[in-house]
Amino acid sequence: MKELAQEQDGAAARLDRRASGLSPVTRSDILEAALTLFATRGYYGTSLKDVAHAVGLRAPSLYNHIEAKSDLLVEIVFETLAHVGAELEEAIEAHVDLHDRLYAATYAYALRHAVHRREALVVNQDARHLPEHDLSRAQSLRRFQERRFRQIISDGVDSGLFDVPSAKLASFAIREMCVSAARWFHEGGDFTAEDVARNFATQAVRMVQGPIR
């Protein structure tokens, strides 16, 4: 979280510039600030006043940009899910061989979660606070992504390439292994994001290989 806090300091520094009249606050600045705050303090732990402060506005002025705190959460969650989904599809479409496909899908998914940690943390910790309608939409998008992994595994089982007791549980395990990178990965540690992605992709392929015991 130290790094995330540093990004927050960076945001604070940027707005000194802004307060001195160099550039007006944009909606994207507000989303960026909200992303860091939600990721570090949680959605409930962040007030609109905190968001306003982080971009150098007074709270009432924020209402020129957004209607409610939940707008920020909705936008962050759906933008994140759209990006993750697009990268996953691209990885899947790039390969016909099912080993390669599973490897590529896991690689892309793990890399995304290691690199875009704030987004992933907000989706995983705070999506449950979305307004009802948005929540079910977000849940079905996430389920769709899990099913894409499951499909690769079932296809592999059907064609005799893979052997797992349950494609569903294997897909859960692979997805969650990747998602977890958002919680523990940090730049400058023992591994690069690419190391993690490579490693997890290898582990995913091993998981679906025939029974060993």
Q: How far is CA 97 from CA 86, 93, 107, 168, 186, in A?
A: 20, 10, 15, 20, 32
Please give the Cα distance from 162 to 157 (Å, whole number). Answer: 5
- Which lies closer to its own copies via its Cβ, residue 43 or residue 56? 43
- Which lies closer to its own copies via its Cβ, residue 62 or residue 193? 193
- Which lies closer to its own copies via its Cβ, residue 58 or residue 206? 206
Please give the Cα distance from 68 to 36 (Å, whole number). Answer: 17
- Which lies closer to its own copies via its Cβ, residue 52 or residue 207? 207
Closest CB 26 distance from its own copies, rounded Å = 28
Closest CB 129 distance from its own copies, rounded Å = 7
C-beta separation of 40 from 125 below 8 A: no
Closest CB 151 distance from its own copies, rounded Å = 17
- Which lies closer to its own copies via its Cβ, residue 10 or residue 189? 189
Residue (of 188, 180, 177) closest to 2 by Cα position: 188
- Which lies closer to its own copies via its Cβ, residue 22 or residue 169? 169
Q: Could you list the residues that contact its own copies (CB under 8 A)?
A: 1, 42, 44-45, 99, 103, 125, 128-129, 164-166, 168-170, 172-173, 176-177, 179-180, 183-184, 190-191, 195-196, 198-200, 202-203, 205-207, 209, 211-213
Closest CB 38 distance from its own copies, rounded Å = 11
- Two tokens, residue 92: 């899947």
Cβ-Cβ contacts under 8 Å for 192 (sequence gap 6 or more): none
- Two tokens, residue 174: 């692979």
Closest CB 99 distance from its own copies, rounded Å = 6
Closest CB 157 distance from its own copies, rounded Å = 14
Please give the Cα distance from 132 to 124 (Å, whole number). Answer: 16
Q: Which helix (H) or strand (E) holds 15?
A: helix 2-19
